[in-house]
Homo-oligomer: A and B are copies of this chain.
Amino acid sequence: MKMLINVPETVVADALRGMAACHPELIVDVENRVIVRRDAPVEGKVGLVSGGGSGHEPLHGGFVGSGMLDAACPGEVFTSPVPDQMVRAAAAVDSGKGVLFIIKNYTGDVLNFDMAAELAEDEGIQVAKVLVNDDVAVTDSLYTAGRRGTGATLFVEKIAGAAAAEGAPLERVESIARRVNELSRSFGVALSPCSTPSKGGPTFELPAGELELGVGIHGEPGRERRAMMTSHEIADYAVQVVVEDLRPESPVLLLVNGMGATPQLELYGFAAEVHRALGERQVAVARTLVGNYVTSLDMAGASITLCQVDEDLLRLWDAPVRTAGLRWGA
């Protein structure tokens, strides 16, 4: 498996050096693996911190900037960051108004963020936590007790980030983040496995002519394998399970997310089918975002995330954001 890397051991550090070189608006601590917006702490603002294993870029480092995260902590590929990174991040972004940890539901991440919250509070930083667990595919899978956190993380980080940018206090930023998670559901499919640098090849086998329905963002098994389906059929399947679980009663935000290696030409064709399938189920779409946002290295495939929104959440979604991976109005 050929990769555009030096050696597997330095992949994360090399990417962080790249972030530093390309984004002068960020402070990237390559040694301690913390990415912080340069103007942090922002006076009077709640700080938002997230993080997780690397390999899902632009999540999370690419979402650091005004209107979204204040800091991100990248772990090794598909491996939780450690509490020390999270405490450093919290200290760097706390203006005295407290810090919200946004945690995808994987056992290692949850344990480490819990420990970091205790350590940060020992240092006098007020910490709230929100767990993202939007993936309807399975419960209690590899790495996770309960549902996995996937695409909804982007919605939580963007919308809670906008609330914080408006000056909302910690309690409200936390409750909005929690609400966005509760109103969000995701489902993903893989057409190919992903390859980690350390392994140097695919992390799982996916036979020719089959796809994995309900795959996780580390290639964890989903609900079932089937003979390859059309974009139309995949959209019907994914939309059906997500809508059945969410039962949206107002318009939704829709993320049509590429897993990393699926061409944008295919992704937009899939987006057309997702819109059709939602329309057939009387689900109105307020906004659609299409692209590679919550990825799994070089996996081919896609996921959809719906987030039911009211006017206030939609306004926060539309608010200006300025990060490497998501930017508008600023």
Q: Which of A23, A231, A268 has the most CB of B within 10 A?
A: A268
Choose among B4, B19, B62, B256 the residue that contacts A266 (Cβ–Cβ < 8 A): B4
CA distance A302 to B4 in the complex (A): 8
Stretch touching chain B among A9-17, A116-124, A172-180: A9-17
Does any Cβ of B come within 8 Å of A145's Cβ? no
Number of chain copies forming the complex: 2
CA distance A266 to B58 in the complex (A): 12
Q: Which residues of B sit under 8 angstroms from A265, Cβ to Cβ?
A: 11-12, 15, 54-55, 57, 77, 297
A70 to chain B, nearest CB (A): 20
A6 to chain B, nearest CB (A): 5
Does any Cβ of B come within 8 Å of A160's Cβ? no
CA distance A291 to B53 in the complex (A): 20
| CB–CB B298/A264 < 8 A | no
Q: What string of 1s and 0s marks CB contacts (under 8 Å) between A260-282 and chain B?
A: 11111111111111010000000
Q: What string of 1s and 0s marks CB contacts (under 8 Å) between A282-297 and chain B?
A: 0001001010100101
Task: Name the residue of chain B whose CB is nearest to the CB of A208.
Answer: B2
Does any Cβ of B come within 8 Å of A211's Cβ? yes
CA distance A259 to B269 in the complex (A): 19
| CB–CB B231/A4 < 8 A | yes
Known A-B contacts A15-B268, A261-B260; the reply to A231 vs B5 at CB < 8 A is: yes
Task: Name the residue of chain B whose CB is nearest to the CB of A22.
Answer: B288
Choose among B3, B11, B77, B230 the residue that contacts A6 (Cβ–Cβ < 8 A): B230
| CB–CB A271/B21 < 8 A | yes
CA distance A42 to B271 in the complex (A): 29
Does any Cβ of B come within 8 Å of A147's Cβ? no
Q: What string of 1s and 0s marks CB contacts (under 8 Å) between A196-222 and chain B?
A: 000000000000110100000000000
Stretch touching chain B among A82-90, A96-104, A131-139, A321-329: A321-329
Does any Cβ of B come within 8 Å of A234's Cβ? yes
Q: Which residues of B sit under 8 angstroms from A234, Cβ to Cβ?
A: 4
CA distance A103 to B62 in the complex (A): 32
Does any Cβ of B come within 8 Å of A228's Cβ? yes
Does any Cβ of B come within 8 Å of A241's Cβ? no
Given contacts A6-B230, A15-B269, list 5 more A-B pairs with CB under 8 A: A3-B266, A18-B275, A22-B268, A23-B288, A327-B327
Q: List 29 A-B contacts (CB under 8 A).
A: A2-B191, A2-B211, A4-B191, A4-B262, A4-B270, A5-B269, A7-B230, A14-B268, A14-B273, A15-B266, A15-B268, A15-B269, A16-B268, A18-B269, A21-B271, A21-B275, A22-B256, A22-B268, A22-B275, A57-B265, A57-B268, A77-B265, A261-B263, A261-B300, A264-B292, A292-B292, A327-B328, A328-B328, A329-B329
